[in-house]
Amino acid sequence: MRPRAREDERGISPSGREGDTLPAVAEILMGVTGGIAAYKSLDVLRILQRHGHGVSVVMTHTAERFVGSASFAALSGREVGTHLFGDAGQPGYHHLDVTGGKDLMLIAPASANTMSQMATGAANSLLTSCYLAFRGPVVVAPAMNTAMWLHPATARTIETLRADGVHLVDPDTGLLADGAVGPGRLAEPAVIVAAVEAALAGTAAVKDMAGVRVLISAGGTREPIDAVRYVGNHSSGRMGWALAAAAYDRGAEVVVVQANVDLPRQPGIRYVNAPTAREMRDACRAEFTSSDLLLMCAAVADYRPVAAAGGKMDKAEAESLTVALERTTDILAELAALRDDQVLIGFAVEHGPDGLGRARAKRDRKAVDIVVHNDAAVAGAAFGGPDNIITIIGPGEAEIALPRMSKRACAEHILDAARPLVPARTVSA
């Protein structure tokens, strides 16, 4: 892979400045299998090219019945592989020639048939032979009708592929070619490309955050009412975990200050427990001075019970109980006021139509570089799920609204936006 200067769809670089260098211009081997969604692969190819990637295409024979190989050849500017050497009585391709020099293999759309061959290790087409011979990251975007997608056999296939380390891009739910509405529709091309870039960023070759010290707060604080009860929130910590994994994979030194997160810890990342707002403030302040980048992802309670009762409160005779609450310190705003040259990123979970405006105002009020907005009212963007729908507000006038994608892919976009702001002195990569 080689470095590149990347721009978003509107020609604005993630930092709002020109000439920022981002990693991961890659050589991609794109497999196309049979299905009505095969035409969407042309869009995927174009977006990948616009992002600076080189794309070579292999197709199954069934795919050719939906979209001609000539379309892919014209767009990619390269020959399209359709059959194995000796297959179909014609000179074909040797799979090792096709996979050589490729950084990532993408299969979109992936049919139930091709995926089941991949899961069992069958190598009866050029595409499946390439899959077996390829040693880099593999991204698979399935597409099929709802009944096939929901069949237990497909579920077993998917489970096997995931266990083999394949990055799955879940299909969308919507109107399918057969008129039915349900899961199985190929994910949007932009979402597939984001998954490709997230997988590329996770490969050893991209270490654009080497030497950068990243502090991430994650989870949701719990404020004691008494020894057994608390005021809390629904934050799962998944977004913070995704940011930590992405930053770590990009070579950063990562500290996670976490509140009540019940997710596996990753070797190489340092975790500090901070279950309450007060402990989170103390831990963040202690870690902040030696950090370059703060991602304040935790859902910190804005209020806590004034004086937590020592033991367990007895049920009062009264029909109702009033718990007096006091304001907690706004940790993000406090750290922004204390900053030396750290880059600060806040998160704004807002509800409803004015949310984006409130998130923009929050960025100014808290004096941070970037605010990541997500609308808790939109399906797919809620607490605890694997996906998120975010808008990255800042730096400067830049604003990037992303479609629904995995929290890991969101994390890569957030780091892409933050990376150019981190002072150059910390960069050793």
Q: Which residues belong to the active site?
A: 233
CB-nearer residue toward ligand CTP: 128 or 235: 235
Candidates 181, 56, 49, 179; CA nearest to 106 is: 56
Comparison of 189 and 220: residue with beta carbon closer to ligand CTP: 220
Q: Is 18 exposed, middle or buried (0-12, 13-18, 19+ CB in 10 A)?
A: exposed
CB of 405 to ligand CTP, least distance (A): 20
Question: Cα–Cα–Cα angle for 387, 295, 369, nearest 5°?
Answer: 110
CA distance 347 to 393: 10
Q: What is the dihedral of CA 209, 210, 215, 218, to 10 degrees?
A: 60
| Burial (CB count within 10 angstroms: exposed 0-12, middle 13-18, buried 19+), residue 311 | exposed
Strands 343-350 and 303-305 turn out to be: unpaired
**Cβ pair 176, 185 in contact under 8 A:** yes
Taking the complex as a whole, the smallest distance from the CB of residue 230 to ligand CTP amounts, in Å, to 16
* Min dist. Cβ of residue 139 to ligand CTP (A): 30
Closest CA to 422 of 241, 251, 193, 201: 251
Q: Smaller CB distance to ligand CTP: residue 81 or 219?
A: 219
- Smallest distance from ligand CTP to CB 346, Å: 4
Cα(32)–Cα(181) distance, rounded to whole angstroms?
24
Given a contact cutoff of 8 angstroms between Cβ atoms, the answer to whether 218 and 284 are in contact is: no
At 63, list the tokens: 């795919």
Beta carbon of residue 349, minimum distance to ligand CTP (angstroms, whole number): 6
Nearest CB to ligand CTP, comparing residues 27 and 334:
334
CB distance 201 to 246 below 8 Å: yes
Residue 3 or 357: which CB sits closer to ligand CTP? 357
**Cα distance between residue 121 and residue 139, in whole Å:** 16
Q: Residue ranges of the alpha helices (H) in 303-423?
A: 331-338, 355-366, 407-418
Q: Of 128 and 342, which has the nearer Cβ to ligand CTP?
A: 342
Closest approach, Cβ 268 to ligand CTP, in A, equals 24
Binding site for ligand CTP (CB under 6 A): 277, 296, 298, 300, 302, 328, 330-332, 346-349, 362
Give whole-number Cα distances, 199 to 140, 319, 376, 424, in Å: 11, 55, 26, 25
Nearer to ligand CTP, 134 or 347 (CB): 347
The distance of closest approach from Cβ of residue 347 to ligand CTP in the complex, given in angstroms and rounded to an integer, is 4
> From CA 121, how far away is CA 403, in angstroms rounded?
34
